[in-house]
Chain A
Amino acid sequence: MRRKIIVSIIIAICYLLQSTLFQRLAFASISPNLLIIVVSAFGFMRGKKEGMFIGFFCGLLLDIFGGRILGMYALLYMYIGYLNGRFRKLFYPEDIKLPMLLIAGSDIACNLLIYFFLFLFRNRYDFRFYLLHIMVPELVYTMVVTIFLYALILDINQRLEVIEKRSATKFV
Chain B
Amino acid sequence: MKRKPKFVLPTKYILLILTCVCVLAMLLSFTLNISGGPLNSAAGYVFIPMQRGINAVGGWISEKSDSLKQLNDVMKENEELKRKVDELTTELNTLTLEQYELENLRDLFELDQKYPSYEKIAANVIGKVSGNWFSNFTIDKGSNDGIEVDMNVIAGSGLVGIVTDVGPNYSTISSIINDTNKVSGMVTTTSDNLVVSGSLQSMSERMVIEFSDLNDSDGEVAVGDPVVTSYISDKYQQGILIGYISSIEMDSNNLTKSGTITPAVDFEHIQEVLVIRNKKQQTKE
Residues of A within 8 A of B (CB): 12, 15-17, 19-21, 23-24, 29-31, 33, 48-49, 52, 56, 60-62, 64-72, 74-75, 78-79, 82, 111, 114-115, 118-119, 122, 124, 126, 129-130, 133-134, 137-138
Cβ contacts under 8 Å, A17 to chain B: 54
In the complex, what's the smallest C-beta–C-beta distance from B195 to chain A, in angstroms? 15
Number of A-B contacts (CB under 8 A): 138
Known: A24-B58, A49-B11, A52-B14. Contact between A65 and B22, CB under 8 A?
no
What 10 A-B pairs are tightest by C-beta distance, nearest first? Answer: A71-B25, A66-B130, A19-B127, A75-B22, A66-B129, A71-B22, A71-B26, A70-B29, A20-B54, A49-B11
Residues of B within 8 A of A (CB): 11, 14-15, 18-19, 21-26, 28-30, 34-36, 39-40, 43, 46-47, 50-51, 54-55, 58, 62, 126-134, 136, 138, 164-165, 170, 172, 174, 179-180, 200-201, 204-205, 268
Please classify the interface of chain A as helix (H, G, I), strand (E, B), loop, or mixed, using the class held by over half of its residues: helix
Q: Return chain B residues, CB-CB under 8 Å to A15.
A: 47
**A16 close to B54 (CB less than 8 A):** yes
Across-interface contacts of A49 in B (CB, < 8 A): 11, 14
Q: Is the CB of A16 within 8 A of B51?
A: yes
Given A20-B58, A71-B21, A122-B180: A62 in contact with B26 (beta carbons within 8 A): no
Q: Is the CB of B47 within 8 A of A12?
A: yes
Q: How far is the CA of A17 from the CA of B50 in the complex (A)?
A: 10
Q: Which of A12, A67, A79, A134 is in CB contact (< 8 Å) with B130?
A: A67
Q: How far is the CA of A137 from the CA of B268 in the complex (A)?
A: 17
- In the bound complex, what is the Cα–Cα distance between A30 and B204 (angstroms)? 10
Measured in the bound complex, the distance between the Cα atoms of B63 and A124 in whole Å is 39
Most buried by A among B21, B22, B43, B54: B22
Q: How far is the CB of A70 from the nearest CB of chain B, in Å? A: 4
Q: Is the CB of A33 within 8 A of B131?
A: yes
Q: Sample 7 A-B pairs with CB under 8 A, ordered by A number.
A: A16-B50, A30-B132, A60-B39, A66-B172, A70-B28, A70-B29, A78-B22
Task: Decide yes or no: A20 and B174 within 8 Å by CB, A67-B136, A68-B29, A129-B201 being known contacts.
Answer: no
Q: Which residue of A lies closest to B62 (CB)?
A: A24
| Chain B residues near A119 (CB-CB < 8 A) | 133, 179, 200
Known: A75-B23, A126-B201. A20 touches B55 (CB 8 A): yes
Known: A70-B36, A119-B179, A124-B201. A61 touches B128 (CB 8 A): no
CA distance A126 to B204 in the complex (A): 13
Q: How near does chain B come to A94, taking the closest CB pair, in angstroms? A: 27
Contact B54 A52 (CB under 8 A): no
Q: Which residues of A contact B179 (CB under 8 A)?
A: 118-119, 122, 124
A contact residues around B174 at 8 Å (CB): 68
CB distance from B137 to the nearest CB of A (A): 10
If the complex has contacts A56-B18, A65-B43, are A114 and B133 also in contact, measured as CB distance less than 8 A? yes
Give the shortest distance, in Å, between A65 (CB) and chain B (any CB): 5
Task: List 20 additional contacts besides A65-B47, A138-B131; criterion CB under 8 Å.
Answer: A16-B47, A19-B51, A19-B127, A19-B138, A56-B18, A62-B130, A64-B36, A64-B40, A65-B129, A65-B172, A67-B130, A70-B28, A70-B34, A71-B21, A71-B25, A72-B26, A78-B15, A79-B15, A118-B180, A124-B179
CB distance from B129 to the nearest CB of A (A): 4
CB contacts (< 8 Å) of A137 on chain B: these are 132
CA–CA, A23 to B127, complex, Å? 8
Query: What chain A residues lie within 8 Å of B24 (beta carbons)?
Result: 71
Given contacts A20-B54, A49-B11, A70-B25, contact A75 B19 (CB under 8 A): yes
Q: In chain A, what residue has the closest Cβ to B174?
A: A68
User: Of the candidates B14, B29, B40, B131, which one forms a contact with A69 in the assembled complex, judged by CB atoms under 8 Å apart?
Assistant: B29
Docked pose: A78 CA to B12 CA in angstroms: 12
